[in-house]
Structure 1
Amino acid sequence: MTGRNRLIAVAVLLVCAIAAAAAYALTDHQRPARAGAPASPPTGSVLAAWIPHDPGLADICRTALPSQARDTLALIARGGPFPYRSDGVVFENRESRLPRHRTGYYHEYTVVTPGSADRGTRRVVTGGVGEQYWTGDHYTSFQEIDARC
């Protein structure tokens, strides 16, 4: 094998290793929860351990959210009761705007919109390992909620 061929082989192996690492990082490695059982929340303090789950999504500080969104987050933390029957239902991520995970990983909650005659367009979507996302435009765009600020 010539020096040039060795260099090409090393480059190919390096590209394969990077691709495998990226594929591993983009997949969900949690064990699926038992049927009907909620996913367990992360251990430790969310404030101390917050790391963005998708660096491609913009972040938003919890304190920058509308007060109604912070109210919804408090209800989620307490486990309800929620004002809408559809709060807590599975969010299917059909638009694939959030990181890809198994069906049932995400759940959506209504953020009250003052003056709206219906549920409005604002939602908080939670993930199975504690991440939280904000959408003010009914899933057209998302921002990951940073609990540290």
Structure 2
Amino acid sequence: MTNRLRPIVVAVVLAVAVALAAAYAMGRHQPAARPAVGATAVTSTRAAAGPSPKPGPGQGGVCRTRLPSQAQDTIALIAKGGPFPYRSDGIVFDNREGRLPKQPGAYYHEYTVVTPGAGDRGARRIVTGGAGEEYWTQDHYASFQLVDPRC
């Protein structure tokens, strides 16, 4: 490589590295803290935005300890920031179905919950919200349950 090209190549490599780091950071939004959240099922086709009622466990939500072990493993990986088993883990969940409370932009992110025996990613996911809430779906977004971390 000639001395004239070296600074150009270095600048291009640095620009690509910065762009990739920024894209990675935007796609991996992790809440700093996980506030306690009441258990509430979110299964309607249009859930209302804003704070939800906080019924106790067994009234529509799901206790974290009652989730399958693979879902608990996924939640632990989310708390650690990875590494995740699938390349698409951590991508923005757009809530196109409208089954979660309406939020702006890249508020929700989805993570695969491994399904034993499945030849693909399967239908199970944990979807996280920007305020630290976690939602469980075992039917590929047809319904969600708010995960209660207190039990």
**TM-score (structure 1 length as normaliser):** 0.68
Q: Partners in 2 of 1:76 and 1:145 — Cα distance?
A: 14
Q: Where does the alignment leave 5 or more consecutive residues of structure 2 unmatched?
A: 1-24, 40-50
Residue 37 (structure 2) aligns with: 50
Residues 30 and 81 in structure 2, CA contact (< 8 A), matched pair in contact too: no
What one-letter code is carried by the residue in structure 2 that aligns with 1:120?
Answer: G
Moved over 2 A (4+): 35-42, 49-58
Residues 93 and 127 in structure 2, CA contact (< 8 A), matched pair in contact too: yes
- SS, match of residue 61 in structure 2: strand
Within 5 A, what are the aligned runs for 1:33-112? 36=26, 38=29, 40-42=31-33, 46=35, 49-52=36-39, 53-55=51-53, 58-112=60-114
* CA RMSD, 1 decimal: 2.3
Q: How many residues align?
A: 111
Q: Partners in 1 of 2:31 and 2:123 — Cα distance?
A: 28
Aligned partner of 1:148 among 142, 147, 150: 150
Within 5 A, what are the aligned runs for 1:12-51? 36=26, 38=29, 40-42=31-33, 46=35, 49-51=36-38
Q: Partners in 2 of 1:41 and 1:144 — Cα distance?
A: 19
Cα deviation, 1:26-85, whole Å, max 9, x if unaligned, reads xxxxxxxxx93836434xx63xx4345533992100011000000000000000000000
- SS, match of residue 92 in structure 2: strand
Cα deviation, 1:1-35, whole Å, max 9, x if unaligned, reads xxxxxxxxxxxxxxxxxxxxxxxxxxxxxxxxxx9
- SS, match of residue 74 in structure 1: helix
Aligned partner of 2:132 among 126, 130, 143: 130
Residue 32 (structure 1) aligns with: none
Residues 39 and 129 in structure 1, CA contact (< 8 A), matched pair in contact too: no
**TM-score (structure 2 length as normaliser):** 0.67
Matched-pair identity in %? 62
Larger helix proportion of the pair: 1
Q: Which structure would you say has the larger RCO, counting Cα contacts within 8 Å and 6 or more residues apart?
A: 2
